[in-house]
Amino acid sequence: MPEGSTEPRATPPPSPLARRSRSGWTVPWDWTDVALFCALFLTALVIVDSILEDPQVSDFGSRLLRGASAAEKTAVGSLVLEVAFYLVGIAVILGLVVIRRRAPLSELGWRIPHLGWIALAIPVAGAAYLIITGIGDLTQALFPAAQNGQVPEVQGEYGHYVGLAIPAVSVVAPIVEETFFRGFIYGWMRRRLNVPVAAILSGCFFALVHFQPVIFLPLAVLGAGLALLYEYSGSLLPGMVVHGLFNLIEIVQIL
């Protein structure tokens, strides 16, 4: 600025992360988008299920798996169904955020974080596993009659075919679930709530939709922790890494 000038110096606008850290989150979606997601997601699942159950589709799948054992066919079918489930979910989320609200993917947390957060994700995943396992053991001790239905369910779906379970459970699921529970749900809650309340509520919602009462508390703690990781890293990627590694350890142990 020339000497003697009284014109104020222009300052660049704050980055999205700086704006969020000072004055709260400004995602453009609200409760109507959450309600729409539920309706659209359930409708799409019915349509996809009817397509997969179509006799022609079933016959095509049988021809592709000709010679495979019954257990192999069950594992492949479980992989296809699970991936289809998650693809429907991510399609509905992107439709609401990108098309309905015209928001960039960065508003969902799809950003590249500082590399330090990625490095931190590995030890965090190990610590999270130990903490969540400890909480789960305590819960099981308090309620010995309660059973975790996820274990026999996953064993029935994939048998001992760990290689088929890993893509769905440790890759696709973390990407979609972090986008939904942290990017979409936690982002919406942060519009009105402070960090602790939004993290706890989103964590409880994450646990609730797994429909397993005995692991509600461990999953709620995990969900709240992943929300905090998203809050302070500004990106879903570290949480996806933690979530994926956590699921990897779990699925290897189960199968």
The answer as to whether 23 is a domain residue is no
- Does residue 162 sit within a domain? yes
**Residue-level pLDDT, tens digit, the chain, 255 residues:** 555 555 555 444 443 443 343 335 689 999 999 999 999 999 999 998 888 888 887 777 778 888 888 888 888 888 999 999 999 999 999 999 999 999 999 999 999 999 899 999 999 999 999 999 999 999 888 888 888 888 888 888 888 888 889 999 999 999 999 999 999 999 999 988 999 999 999 999 999 999 888 899 999 999 999 999 999 999 999 999 999 999 999 998 888
State whether residue 154 is helix, strand or coil.
Answer: helix
| Residue 40, in any domain of the structure | yes
The span from the CA of 127 to the CA of 125, in Å, is: 5
Predicted local confidence at residue 172, as pLDDT: 96
Q: Is position 176 within any domain?
A: yes
Q: What is the pLDDT of residue 243?
A: 96
Q: Is residue 11 part of a domain?
A: no
Which letter, b or e, does each residue of 117-127 get, where b requires 16 or more Cβ atoms within 10 Å of its Cβ? bbebbeebbee
pLDDT at 94: 96
What pLDDT shows up at residue 15? 39
CA distances from 242 to 59, 130, 172, 178 (A): 39, 13, 13, 10
**Cα distances (Å, whole numbers) of residue 236 to 53, 84, 118, 138, 232:** 34, 22, 10, 30, 10
| 3-state SS class at 155 | helix
Q: Would residue 179 count as lying in a domain?
A: yes
DSSP helix/strand/coil, 103: coil
**Is residue 69 included in any domain, yes or no?**
yes
Whole domain around residue 125: which residue ranges?
A: 28-254
Nearest-5° Cα angle at 216, 77 to 211? 40
Q: Where are the alpha helices (DSSP H) in the chain?
A: 16-23, 31-52, 55-64, 70-94, 115-142, 150-158, 162-166, 173-177, 187-189, 195-208, 216-233, 237-254
């979609």: which residue's tokens?
176
Between CA 88 and CA 97 the distance in angstroms is 14
Q: Give me the number of domains the chain comprises.
A: 1
Checking 125-129 for CB contacts under 8 A at 24+ apart, the result is 125/241, 125/242, 125/245, 125/246, 125/249, 126/245, 128/222, 128/225, 128/242, 128/246, 129/245, 129/246, 129/249, 129/250
Residue 91 counted as domain residue: yes
User: What pTM, to 2 d.p., does this model score?
Assistant: 0.87
